[in-house]
């Protein structure tokens, strides 16, 4: 998630960005794994302080262009 966040921030600041992913799916540990018939999400489990008047919420709005 850190690499995607950094790439997004640099892109929003008008830098050209090339984001490379080592895994088969983009997102690193933000997706679901399935093994032996079991599935689990290993990504982010809790987000606090993401309200519209809180710093993390304002950063998320800026990064996403207000779409999240």
pLDDT along the chain (68 residues), means of 10: 90 95 74 84 76 89 90
Q: Quick check: is 56 in a domain?
A: yes
Domain of 49? Answer: 44-68
Q: Quick check: is 28 in a domain?
A: no
Q: Quick check: is 59 in a domain?
A: yes
Q: Quick check: is 14 in a domain?
A: no
Q: Quick check: is 12 in a domain?
A: no
Q: Quick check: is 58 in a domain?
A: yes
Q: Quick check: is 11 in a domain?
A: no
- Identify the pLDDT of residue 29: 65
The tally of domains found in the chain comes to: 1
3-state secondary structure of 15: coil
CA nearest neighbour of 31 among 67, 63, 1, 62 = 1
Q: Quick check: is 49 in a domain?
A: yes
């Amino acid at each position: 998630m850190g690499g995607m966040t950094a790439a997004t921030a640099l892109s929003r600041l008008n830098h050209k960005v090339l984001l490379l992913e080592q895994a088969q799916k983009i997102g690193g540990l933000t997706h679901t794994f399935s093994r032996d018939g079991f599935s689990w999400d290993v990504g982010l489990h809790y987000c606090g302080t993401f309200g519209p008047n809180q710093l993390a919420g304002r950063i998320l709005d800026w990064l996403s262009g207000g779409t999240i």
